[in-house]
Amino acid sequence: MDGAGVLAPEGRWLASWVAAGRHGTMEYMARTLDARVDPRKLLSGVASVIVLAAEHTRQDPRRGPAPGSIARYARGRDYHNVLGKRARVVARLLRSRGHEARSTVDSAPMFERAWAGRSGVGFSGKNCCTIVPGLGSHVLLATVLTSARLEPDAPIPPRCGSCRACLDACPTGAFAGPFELDARRCVSYLTIENRGPIPEPLREGIGDRLFGCDECQEACPFCRTAPPPEGATAPFALDRRWVESDATTFLRLDDASFAELTRATPLRRPGRSGMARNAAIVLGNAGSAVHVPVLAEAARSDPSPVVREAAAWALRRLRDRLG
């Protein structure tokens, strides 16, 4: 979009969201509020923000270690790498024509969703995901800031109407209302960004979700479109490691083997202890008697107290569930 100025109304919403504590432990959100709403903090002389959207694979909705599911976007290569290369091509083209340019894919404090709305790429749904007409919300965003003055596209007004399917589908009740996500209750936040224990009242809602959650997107009518051609989303194709693994794998890994298993994938984000914690909770919710030994070993000897506590909880839950 042209005329890249301060995101005033969006900035006020973001500031109130942080003030309410809904960002949880993501303190970087509070530290970078100014930059998120003012692109001049990232590139002086910025005149336009280009927003790029790439659709990721939508096949096999529940694929992942069994028991355990992985959010669709994280089943293949790390989107930071895939989209980063594409965005850098655009930035290089602009620089070759004498303009300043900077590309970002979650690598700088950009309010991508707000810019996607301003630029006409999509609109923000009640679940706070960007919905691209014809594609739904199964997209990943990148931005390019540039000094070039480009012809802007018209924003797309929200189209959710009275629908609240996404709000009702949330397994942990993370929505305080339409467009009001409380990250502290969101499965994606709890299993990825949160580094401490997952609050016990929310653990049952985690279900078998090992990493992230797609429930509010799966429920959205705008996401009921035909899957993209396989070639179009090839970089995000299911990584065979997740088919050949079991959730118990993440309870047995040391730091080095975890780093190797998750190399070049989004699953590295929570760290070894975060994924082991998630695996323990998944086994408590969806495991069977065969998982008791690995949980007992983790509860006894895992180097992380967070993992030991989660494994002990899972053992109690398994025993209660299995009688």
Domain extents in the chain: 8-56+77-146, 246-317
pLDDT tens digits for range 172-222: 999 999 999 999 999 999 999 999 999 999 999 999 999 999 999 999 999
Window from 79-88, 156-165, 226-235, 256-265 with minimum mean pLDDT: 226-235
Omega of the bond leading into 221 within 30 degrees of 0 (cis): no
Could you give the CA distance from residue 227 to residue 236 in angstroms, rounded to a whole number?
Answer: 13
Active site residues: 106
pLDDT of residue 306: 98
**Predicted local distance difference test score (pLDDT) of residue 1:** 43
Q: Buried b vs exposed e over 173-191: b needs ≥16 C-beta within 10 Å?
A: ebbeebbbbbbbbbbbbbb
CA dihedral 109, 113, 115, 117 (to 10 degrees): -170
pLDDT at 152: 86
